[in-house]
Every structure is written in C-alpha cells, then in structure tokens.
C-alpha cells in the first residue's frame, strides 16, 4: 500500500509534487470516498494538492467543503431619472456611477479602487435603477468576510427621494461543508483517479510547507482551510 500511494514510510515524501515543500513533512495513508470526489471532480480525476477533509461517520476522506464568497446587493429606490451615485469600500470611494448603470459599469468603478483591484469582483443584474446589481467578491477577496460597501445617493436627481442602499446577501468566509467536510485536514499528496463506488487508497499531506501558488486550479484552498491547517502547515509562495 505504501508504495502505491507514493510513500516509503509513514513520514516523509519521495519525489513529491512541486507544491510540497522540503523536509520535514508528514504524510499518512488514507482512503478516499470515491463518490464524494466524483460529486466535485466529475471526470474522476482528482489532482495532487486538493484540500481534503475527513467524513465523521465513515472515517473516509472527501473534498473539503470550502467557504462562501461574499455577495452584496446595490439597490436604487425612488425611481431617479438622472444623476450619479458612489460606492465606498474600505475607505476608498468610486468615481461617479450613472443612475442607470449596467452591472459592467459598477464592476469597472469598483475594480478601479486599490482596495479591490482588477479581477476581484464580479457583478450581475441591472441595469439600474429598475434592477439591483449584485457584487460578488472573488480573486484575492474570495471566501472572505469583507467590509460592507456604503453608498452616497446625493448625486441622484428626479424621482421621489432616490436612495442607494447596499445589503450583504451572503456573508463571505462561512464554512460550507458539514459532517466533517467543513474542516480541512490536509492536501492530497498524489493525483488519483476515482470510479463510482470504488474507494481509493491515497496519502494525506498534513504537516510541512506548502507553496500555495503552485497548488492546482480548483484545489479548494481558501482562507478557512489555511486557518484550519495553520498549526501544522506553513504556507509560502515560490520566491517569497
């Protein structure tokens, strides 16, 4: 079993993946719940580095459940017919946003703030004023309980006391897993292929150094996983 999962002993990695740092490290033999992984990795291929959790009822391992991305909703009431408004996030205020802005225009205004930056929000809905715009925090702000934006409606004109409000629809950073999958236990050491109903032997990398920028896309790694594993894994970046 040990040779099959890339181990020569219960502690230590031989020829480990690029994201796994130098010794000392600790790994342990585990069993993957194939059906749980197929629900996330539908082609059956589970890449090395994926964050995994332990199912309380069975003792087998499943994908870490991850955590929520923050969603805030920008709503205009009072049917304005002209003017602009602004949004403020972490002390920085956007340029003027038109009363009838599209979701794309709101995105552009927010990404211009250094406290947000390009690629760190997505938007949907709109256009204003008839339809709210939802703002989802992603990228470096994903899975994080960010500050709620505030709005200044003073530039809106026409209508009946037009007002812009911001509400938090989904708080970021909330654990999404259950029955054990809400707690990260480590990283899958080697790639694995799973098939329905066939549990698979694997190895859990649970102590050592991890280069987080070398983890695969879709690794399920987030700030909550980092916190869960902080006592045993040191997260670093190549060249940092």
* Mean pLDDT confidence for 108-128: 97
The CATH code of domain 3-65+176-236 reads: 2.40.300.10
C-alpha pair distances (Å), 9 with each of 2, 103, 203: 7, 55, 11
Mean pLDDT of the chain: 90
Cα-based angle 180, 186, 188 (whole degrees, multiple of 5): 105
Check whether 208 has a pLDDT greater than 60: yes
Give the pLDDT band (50/70/90) at residue 8: very low
- 46-79 pLDDT tens trace: 999 999 999 999 999 999 998 889 999 999 999 9
Tokens standing for 75? Answer: 């709503």
Whole-number pLDDT of residue 24: 64
Give the separation between CA 226 and CA 240, rounded to whole angstroms.
17
- Beta pairing class for 121-125 and 97-98: unpaired
| Cβ atoms of residues 37 and 202 within 8 Å | no
Q: 168, 74 in Cβ contact below 8 A?
A: no
Both structure tokens of 131? 């339809």
Average pLDDT value for residue range 71-93: 97
**Which token pair is 113?**
């703030």
Tell me 36's DSSP state: H
What's the burial of 159, exposed, middle or buried (CB within 10 Å: 0-12/13-18/19+)? middle
Which H helix or E strand runs over 38? helix 34-38
Residue 240 pLDDT: 61
Higher pLDDT pick, 113 / 240 = 113
> pLDDT class for 15, splitting at 50, 70, 90?
low
* Average confidence (pLDDT) over 90-108: 98
Q: Once rounded to an integer, what is the mean pLDDT over residues 90-116?
A: 98
> In terms of Cα–Cα distance, which of 105, 71, 62 is closest to 204?
62
Share of the chain above pLDDT 90, in %: 77
State mean pLDDT over 206-228: 91
Q: Would you place residue 3 in the very low, low, confident or very high pLDDT band (cuts 50, 70, 90)? A: very low
Q: Do the Cβ atoms of 67 and 176 come closer than 8 Å?
A: yes
Three-point CA angle 190, 196, 201, nearest 5°? 35
User: Which one-letter DSSP state was computed for residue 4?
Assistant: G
pLDDT of res. 9: 40
Closest CA to 74 of 30, 118, 109, 24: 109
pLDDT at 2: 40
Q: What percent of the chain has pLDDT over 70?
A: 92
Break the chain into its structural domains and give their ranges: 3-65+176-236, 71-170
Determine the pLDDT at residue 23: 59
How far apart, in whole angstroms, are the C-alpha atoms of residue 166 and residue 72? 7
Distance CA 207, CA 209 (A): 7
**What's the pLDDT tens digit per position in 18-50?**
898 875 678 999 999 999 999 999 999 999 999
16 pLDDT more than 80: no
Please say whether the beta carbons of 113 and 138 come within 8 A: no
What is the reported pLDDT for 173?
Answer: 83
Q: What is the pTM of this model?
A: 0.71
pLDDT of amino acid 145: 92
């Amino acid at each position: 079993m040990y040779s099959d999962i890339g181990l020569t002993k219960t502690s230590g990695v031989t020829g480990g993946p690029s994201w796994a740092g130098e010794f000392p490290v600790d790994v342990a033999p585990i069993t993957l719940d194939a059906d749980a992984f197929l629900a996330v990795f539908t082609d059956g291929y589970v890449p090395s580095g994926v964050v995994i959790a332990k199912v309380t009822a069975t003792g087998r391992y499943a994908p870490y459940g991850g955590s929520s991305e923050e969603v805030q909703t920008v709503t205009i009431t009072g049917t304005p017919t002209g003017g602009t408004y602004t949004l403020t996030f972490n002390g920085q205020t956007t340029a003027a946003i038109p009363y009838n802005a599209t979701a794309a225009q709101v995105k552009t205004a927010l990404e211009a703030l250094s406290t947000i930056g390009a690629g760190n929000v997505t938007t949907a809905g709109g256009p204003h004023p008839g339809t709210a715009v939802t703002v989802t925090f992603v990228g470096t702000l994903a899975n994080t309980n960010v500050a709620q934006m505030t709005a200044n409606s003073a530039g809106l004109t026409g209508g009946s006391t037009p007002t812009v409000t911001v509400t938090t629809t989904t708080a970021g950073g909330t654990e999404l897993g259950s029955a054990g999958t809400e707690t990260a236990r480590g990283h899958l050491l080697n790639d694995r292929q799973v098939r329905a109903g066939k549990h698979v032997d694997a190895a859990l990398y649970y102590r050592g150094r991890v280069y987080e920028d070398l983890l695969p896309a879709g690794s399920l790694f987030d700030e909550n996983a980092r916190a869960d594993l902080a006592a045993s894994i040191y997260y670093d970046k190549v060249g940092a």
